[in-house]
Amino acid sequence: MDIRNYEQYITAETMMGPNCIRILEELFNKYPLQSGPDSLILDLGCGMGITSLVIARETGANVYANDLWVSAEENGKRFAQWGIGTQVTPICEDANNFQFEEKQFDALISIDAYHYFAGYKGFFQEKILPFMKDNGVVLIGIPGLKNEYTDRAEELLSDWLGDEAYMFKSPKIWEDLIGSNNRIETVKTWEMDCFDKAWDEWFAVNNELSNGDRQHFETIIRPYTCFVGIYIKLK
């Protein structure tokens, strides 16, 4: 994947935080998906849909673009404008109460969203695993806490995040939260390499939200946080 192919879509309208396409690029380059027209991928927490666009074009798969905050109607209009309306289906479902079929998805991808709803033990195995096909793949990229600061999120991040500081967890903690299961072959978590670039591209948007984050970057965000990459391979 080459992020330069998508620069025209990285705008103030589509970005909701550090560049989600930069995060997705690292995941795809590290763990390329073997997908095609017969594959179905769930983009969990797709926001304004830009990740769904990239997933569709890079994999050729059919994509379910799910977000609880952005309506399916709004994203559907964007997908039609982008020429992917027949390949990407916008939906709006709660990740705690999916209505999908058992073993429906070949892959699940979640960028800058999973930490909002999945930060407790049992979530992956109870709420996600049943909908994944055998040999399926899960790729997740989320903001988190560096390993050396495990369990200190609220102490270190509350001036920036307030009551949401607890959502930031270290790669080690996320590996533990995914847990083990007779359907899980591999779980890998790591501190991603794209941290600085993704943040720089967010600050370049220069809106109220990005400027608010900028005030905390050198004192809180850069010293203590990272992007956590999660790769899960199923049997």
Domain residue ranges in the chain: 3-8+22-144+168-193+226-234
**Longest Cα separation, the chain:** 47
The C-alpha angle 179, 153, 92, rounded to 5 degrees, equals 60
> Residue 4: its pLDDT value, please?
84
User: Rounded CA gap, 43 and 208, in Å?
Assistant: 27
User: Rounded CA gap, 98 and 20, in Å?
Assistant: 24
Residue 44: partners with Cβ closer than 8 Å, 6 or more residues away: 66, 95, 108, 109, 110, 113, 114
> Residue 12: its pLDDT value, please?
76
Q: What is the pLDDT along the chain (235 residues), one digit of tens a residue?
A: 888 898 888 887 888 899 999 999 999 999 999 898 999 999 999 999 999 999 999 999 999 999 998 999 999 999 999 999 999 999 999 999 999 999 999 999 999 999 999 999 999 999 999 999 999 999 999 999 999 999 999 999 999 999 999 999 999 999 999 999 999 999 999 999 999 999 999 999 888 899 999 999 999 999 999 999 999 999 9
> Residue 19: its pLDDT value, please?
95
Is CATH 3.90.25.10 the classification given to domain 3-8+22-144+168-193+226-234? no
Residues 152/153/157/158 CA torsion (nearest 10 deg): -100
As a whole number, the mean pLDDT across the chain is 95
Task: Annotate 166-179 with three-state secondary structure.
Answer: HHCCCHHHHHHHHC
> Residue 206: its pLDDT value, please?
86
> Residue 228: its pLDDT value, please?
98
Strand, helix or coil at 111?
strand
> Residue 15: its pLDDT value, please?
86
Q: Which of 86, 26, 90, 81 is nearest to 60 (CA)?
A: 86
Q: Which of 142, 184, 202, 130 is nearest to 167 (CA)?
A: 142
